[in-house]
Amino acid sequence: MESGIDTAVRAVPPSRDAAERPPLRIGLMLRAVDDVDGQGIYIRELCDALFDLDRHNQYVALYWNEGQVGRYRNRPNVREVVVPGLHKLVWDQVLVPRAARRERLDVLFHHKFSIPLASPCPTVVQQRGTEYWSHPEFYSGWSGRLDRYYNRLMIPLYCRRAARVLTNSDTLGRELMRHAGVPPGKLRTVYAAADERFHPVTEPETLAGVRERYGLPAEPYLLMVVKGHQIQGQLAGKALTPRKNVTIALEAYSQLRDRAAAAGHRAPPLVILGIGIAERLSADVVRRYADPGDVYAPGFVEFADMPAIYSLARALVFPSRYESFGIPLVEAMACGCPLITATTSACPEVAGDAALLVHPDDVAGLAGAMERIASDDLLAGELRRRGLRRAQDFSWAQSARTLLAELEGAARPPSAPPPIRARDDG
């Protein structure tokens, strides 16, 4: 899938065959490679595709701790380096530049919004979102406000310092132009995709095993996939993020149950997945909206079981207030799971014509979309077919090609002499 915001400069193929050039030393800032949310999935999948694609250049994976070592031990052109750190800011701005100089890097890439401001080599940064401007309600309390102010100050600075700014949707690119003043010619979209394991699961034994393992209902259900916490184990003191719109979804589900009861039938159960969700959606909380027996919160689900989870669902309900991409959308489509999603942020861009779209504040509209997809087999079947087709437009291999072109372009800008490697200071 060719990507890039409407006015962005497209990646230009190199004028000489890459094999004729000396290999670049490309640094990857991977302190967040173990994250279990969409950002973690994104960088793991992208790195796997990049290393499958490129056997010519040399990669230096910069880790945060010893526990991350070994992920790429079987990749002959990947060197794993631990840069121990206790504070992310110090790691980004002090320790990584030292390592970049020591490793004589030609270009440095970070997928998580920040880069060293005093880097010894060109940098490429991937921005994750602009909700710091558009959704201040996501950042409550003094720590949330500090996070918001910090990002509004630093994201424009990181974008100015970077040679290239990557996004994971054209929508985010346009937001960065508006909020952070990023020039369109500096932007490039590198989409996410579904892992190759995501496809419709039909084996009865597999489906039954997943249903039993997580205590899922016997009948097809409405599914929500919610970011509870960024890193497994960071549960204490973390409030459920409002961006996934769980409260609105529960209010809509309450209306759906009332409509179904009035018509003499039962609404499909609602399953809500995510780390930290089960702890916050207690029976007392759910009872405000629905019978707790109709709402299931299994908590964290193993990644390998997600294709079956999607395949068992009647639809994915994803009325998110803000998404820069929304990996569950493309995962669900790849598994033949119909979509209900929001009219805002990048959701329409990703879903294309394969979803029912509802404004995230429209409770009645969301209840109506749930009712339509629960009761109309023809509609569900059409959305399933469209979703399977749409999912094929997203490819980690294509995204890796785009990323490689941007990294090589940053390291070897047009008409520039070959890069001079930094002296090894020991």
State the pLDDT at residue 141: 86
DSSP 117-165: TT-SS-EEEE----HHHH-GGG--HHHHHHHHHHHHHHHHHHHHHSSEE
State the pLDDT at residue 12: 40
- Going from the C-alpha of 198 to that of each of 245, 252, 380, the distances in angstroms are 25, 28, 19
Tell me, what DSSP letter sits at residue 335? T
Q: Please state, for a pLDDT cut of 70, what percent of the chain lies above it.
A: 89
- Residue range 381-424, pLDDT digits in tens: 999 999 999 999 999 999 999 999 999 999 987 765 554 444 44
Q: Which of 39-43, 94-98, 240-244 has the lowest mean pLDDT?
A: 240-244
State the pLDDT at residue 227: 63
Query: What is the number of alpha carbons within 13 Å of residue 261 lying toward its C-beta?
Result: 8
Q: Which of 60-74, 86-100, 175-189, 218-232 has the lowest mean pLDDT?
A: 218-232
State the pLDDT at residue 361: 95
- Residue range 48-91, pLDDT digits in tens: 999 999 999 999 999 999 999 999 999 999 999 999 988 999 99
DSSP3 helix / strand / coil % (the chain, rounded to 5) = 45, 15, 40
- Going from the C-alpha of 249 to that of each of 182, 223, 319, 366, 371, the distances in angstroms are 35, 11, 7, 7, 13
- Enter the tokens of residue 268: 């499909």
The Cα 89–Cα 81 span in angstroms is 18
Query: What is the number of alpha carbons within 13 Å of residue 309 lying toward its C-beta?
Result: 27
Is 75 within 8 Å of 119 (Cβ atoms)?
Answer: no
Q: What backbone torsions phi and psi does residue 78 show, to the nearest 5 degrees?
A: -120, 125
State the pLDDT at residue 382: 98
Rama region for 29: left / alpha / beta (φ>0; ψ in -120 to 50; rest): beta
**Residue 240 confidence (pLDDT) above 60:** no
Strand partners, 164: 124
- Residue range 345-379, pLDDT digits in tens: 999 999 999 999 999 999 999 999 999 999 999 99
221 membership: H or E segment, kind and range: strand 221-225
The Cα 95–Cα 192 span in angstroms is 29
**Residue 238 confidence (pLDDT) above 60:** no
**Residue 276 confidence (pLDDT) above 80:** no
Q: Please state, for a pLDDT cut of 90, what percent of the chain lies above it.
A: 76
- Enter the tokens of residue 57: 């250049």
- Going from the C-alpha of 139 to that of each of 127, 147, 374, the distances in angstroms are 18, 7, 35
Considering the chain, what is the average pLDDT of its residues?
89
Task: Name the pLDDT band for 300 (thresholds 50, 70, 90).
Answer: confident
Provide the H-helix boundaries in 34-140.
Answer: 38-53, 88-90, 96-102, 131-134
